[in-house]
Amino acid sequence: MTGDLDRYDYLDGNAAAGPLSEIFAIDVLSARGRCAACGRTDAMATARLLPHSHGLLLRCPGCSAILLRLVDTGHSVCLDLHGLSFLELRRQQNGSQPNPPQPT
Ligand SMILES: [Zn+2]
């Protein structure tokens, strides 16, 4: 899909909160991300989620490129972030850091 996303029914990025909260300990939708295709930088909550896609796809509201793709196969979750050139995760106001990775 290329072109103007306004031609399609969509939800805002907040509609992805449930599935993303299952794999991220922090609120990814409050993070700022930069689209690798057009360079737009904005909160991930401003991304557009097309509800009838295969998997969960968040698209850039500027150019419609896929920013994030999440596919749950039932036994694993695949996360593709190739559409983001960066994702800025902010620390909490009290200075604490996002949850560190846990040893496996
Ligand atoms: Zn873009």
User: What is the tally of structural domains in the chain?
Assistant: 1
Host domain of residue 42: 5-88
CA of 104 to the centre of ligand 1 (A): 36
Tell me if 41 is assigned to some domain.
yes
Q: pTM for the whole thing? A: 0.69
Residue 32 forms part of a structural domain: yes
The pLDDT tens digits of the residues spanning 33-57 come to 999 999 999 999 999 998 877 889 9
Residues composing the chain: 104
Between 13 and 47, residue with greater pLDDT: 47
Residue 84 lies in a domain: yes
Instruction: For residues 90 and 51, give the distance between their C-alpha atoms in angstroms, rounded to a whole number.
Output: 28
Domain membership of residue 75 (yes or no) is: yes
In a domain, 35, yes or no: yes
Query: How many helices (H) and strands (E) in the chain?
Result: 1, 8
Distance from Cα 48 to the centre of ligand 1, integer Å = 11
Q: What are the tens digits of pLDDT across the range 64-93?
A: 999 999 998 889 889 999 999 999 987 766
- For ligand 1, the distance from its centroid to the CA atom of residue 38, given in whole angstroms, is 4
**Of 11, 89, 25, nearest to 56 (Cα)?**
11
Position 64 in a domain: yes
In-domain check, residue 79: yes
Question: Does some domain include residue 28?
Answer: yes
